[in-house]
Amino acid sequence: MKQVTFLIADGVLKPSCLFNAIEVFEKANEFLEQTTGESYFEIRLTGTNLQQRLANGLFSLQVAPLAAIDKAGIIILPSFTEQDDYAIGKNRAALDWVISQFNGGAEVASLCTGTFLLAATGLLNGKPCATHWKAAAYFQRLFPELELHTNKILTDQQGVYTAGGALSSVNLALYIVEKYCGREAALYCARMLQIDIDRNSQSPFIMFEGLKDHKDNVIRNIQEFIEQHIGDRITVDQLAVHCSMDRINFTRRFKKATQLSPADYIQRVKVEGAKRLFESTGQQINEVMYKVGYIDIKAFRQLFKKIVGMTPGDYRNKFNKVA
């Protein structure tokens, strides 16, 4: 039997992230009991605060003390709502316990902004990681040395897992179920809970906000200019002239403020514009391509797939809201 230990650390938890993941493991046990007569996952809750408040404030959880857990198996760190340090400062003792368990052979996983806690343990050093795309800029400020992938649903390296946006927690739970119990068990969970089992990127769900969380007003104005001229064929040289700078200094300053080169920023804005047109209109791929300033269908398809993780046609078929 595999122990799955949710670390209910001190802070305000997001209940959906926690309970959705638990339900996946419960459905896996349901399938295994039906097919083999035995469950596989033993689910436990532990923490330093034995009565833990949830984000909705309507109820709390009672958990076992850390000392009561001998072998944690897989430790899962759910998501928090605090946006100062995502509960890192309150949980030093719990994080030391995670490190000790990992060194003793346990695996460790984080869900959504639980990646902040996992990063604070040092176990993500040298490993790729994911978190909710909306918390990415703050994560990179706190942990600039870590390899954050905002487009990934989950990561797995050397016994350390991370999941992206809140509902990505179920995809990580499914991944663990498939890893230990096989594809058939995971498919049963996905079917019962109506989960897209092969979802592997959160790019289609990123609402591009322009990375404007900086103090450079000149660059912020350029960002807004790009977004307001999404259908134009904008060049980096034009933008540099627009703010009276040479190309090299402009590119360096733009990247310092936004973490993207001007060319990458232009591409991402245009792709985001295309995504929204695919979602809300019945326009064909060529029509959308022209509206966001591209004329080469092959180049547009390649760029779209590189950034979003699926072709324009697949994206339109999956997310179009027009009947």
Q: Where are the domains of the chain?
A: 2-204, 217-319
Task: Name the residue with tokens 């309970």.
Answer: 19
User: Would you call 128 helix, strand, or coil by DSSP?
Assistant: strand
Residue 256 backbone phi and psi in degrees, to 5: -60, -40
Q: Which of 307, 306, 304 is nearest to 316 (CA)?
A: 304
- What SS3 state is found at 266? helix
Please tell me which of 56-70, 193-207, 293-307 the model is most confident about, judged by mean pLDDT: 293-307
Q: Specify burial of residue 227 (Cβ count, 10 A radius: 0-12, 13-18, 19+).
A: middle
- C-alpha neighbours within 13 Å on the C-beta side of residue 59: 3
What does the pLDDT look like over 12-65, one tens digit per residue? 677 888 889 999 999 999 999 999 999 999 999 998 876 666 655 656 677 888
CA distances from 247 to 49, 61, 239, 279, 295 (A): 54, 56, 8, 35, 25
User: Residue 207 contacts by C-beta under 8 Å, 6 or more apart in sequence?
Assistant: 272
Which residues, 6+ apart, have CB-to-CB distance to 264 below 8 Å?
A: none
263 pLDDT band, cuts 50/70/90, is: very high
User: The domain 217-319 belongs to what CATH superfamily?
Assistant: Homeodomain-like (1.10.10.60)
For 256-264, what is the mean pLDDT? Answer: 92
Write the pLDDT tens digit of every residue in 63-100.
888 988 988 999 999 887 765 555 677 788 899 999 99
C-alpha distance from residue 149 to each of 42, 60, 183 (Å): 31, 33, 26
Asked whether 66 and 46 are in contact (CB, 8 A), the reply is yes
Distance CA 25, CA 13 (A): 19
Topology of domain 2-204 in CATH is Rossmann fold (3.40.50)
CA distance 168 to 7: 18
